[in-house]
Amino acid sequence: MADLYPTVSQSNPLSPPQGTYQPSKGASDSAGASTRMCVFLLGGESFAMDLRHVAEVFEVESVTAVPGMPRVLVGVTNLRGTIVSLVDLRETLEVSLASSVLPFAVVMREGAKLCGVLVDDVPEIRTVSRNDLLPALQSGPYERRPGVSLVLRLGSRLCGVLDVTQVFAQIEGGSGGTEVEAGR
């Protein structure tokens, strides 16, 4: 299913602009190093993604269904001439399905692959200390949630941090996560 995603190229409007922040080597080794996170809401819960894996956040205007795709892939949308696959991770992440419409998408990037994760809202981009990133607990709100590899402490609340590699593996039905059922 490698054709599910557009590729990042110089002609792709979603390519990172020249001069995009790239952390210096060794920055992650220092105890107090910081990283930037995109915090988003999904099914009433907070999640986050490393900003280095976020190409863009946009309001979804239309979704075109694609028959025969895995259930998590709800369709595609045209984002300034680039076709972007859209995924709904609520079932995978075991969050509330109360809302039928997810108005925003966070376009995540891994290597040359792009995919839009449908979300309820993106309230903030935040710089956090790496000390606030904790291993996902074996029990608690983020246990056994495929694709959640860390927990981010934001003051008095916690949010699950998505591992983009695991999320792409789940979407593709690969060995990196839970198999995705075909259909929809």
Give the residue-averaged pLDDT of 13-41.
59
Nearest to 39 by CA among 110, 123, 108, 154: 123
CATH number of the domain enclosing 150: 2.40.50.180
Give the residue-averaged pLDDT of 4-8.
52
Number of domains composing the chain: 1
Q: Would residue 2 count as lying in a domain?
A: no
Instruction: For residue 121, count other CB atoms closer than 10 A to its CB.
Output: 14
State the residue range of the domain holding 91. Answer: 35-172
Q: Would residue 180 count as lying in a domain?
A: no
pLDDT at 19: 36
User: Higher pLDDT residue, 22 or 38?
Assistant: 38
pLDDT tens track for 55-114: 999 999 999 999 988 888 999 999 999 999 999 999 888 888 877 888 999 999 999 999
Q: For residue 30, is pLDDT > 90?
A: no
Q: Would residue 26 count as lying in a domain?
A: no
pLDDT-derived band at 17, boundaries 50, 70, 90: very low
Instruction: For residue 125, count other CB atoms closer than 10 A to its CB.
Output: 14
pLDDT at 3: 54
